[in-house]
Amino acid sequence: MKKILGVILATILIMAVLWYSFLYFASYSDGYRSGELIKFSSKGYLVKTWEGEISQGISGAQIFSFSVMDSEPEVIEKLQEYQGKYVKLKYEEKFGTFFFWGGDTKYFITEATLENSPHFNK
């Protein structure tokens, strides 16, 4: 009986680890978003995560919130430099945020480039 219970518990544990690994590493979608970088900061009490927002409209009515993993230091440096400017962001959308150290959103930025604003062509 103890052996059967041990096998059942081990199977449940392995399946849970596989499920959360899939959710953590698998990407639901990826793409690009452009807008004015209006916010980028490190926040959190125990674990700091990098969170930001871009405004995708002139009035600021459409806000895209995103997170940046600590494993992307070059993206973090670029976003700190591009504050207040028009940027193009490459993102990966995860299934959700299941771990507190990952970030507040399910959109994770993997690349950031400076773009010319379509609203203020010079």
Contact 83, 113 (CB under 8 A): no
> Which DSSP state fits 15?
H
Mean pLDDT in the chain? 87
Q: In the chain, what are the domains?
A: 28-114 (2.40.50.140)
pLDDT bracket for residue 68 (50, 70, 90): very high
Q: Is the pLDDT of residue 100 over 90?
A: no
pLDDT bracket for residue 21 (50, 70, 90): confident
Q: Is the pLDDT of residue 122 over 60?
A: no
Distance of CA 109 to the CA centre of its chain: 5
Residues 6+ apart with CB under 8 A from 19: none
pLDDT of residue 121: 63
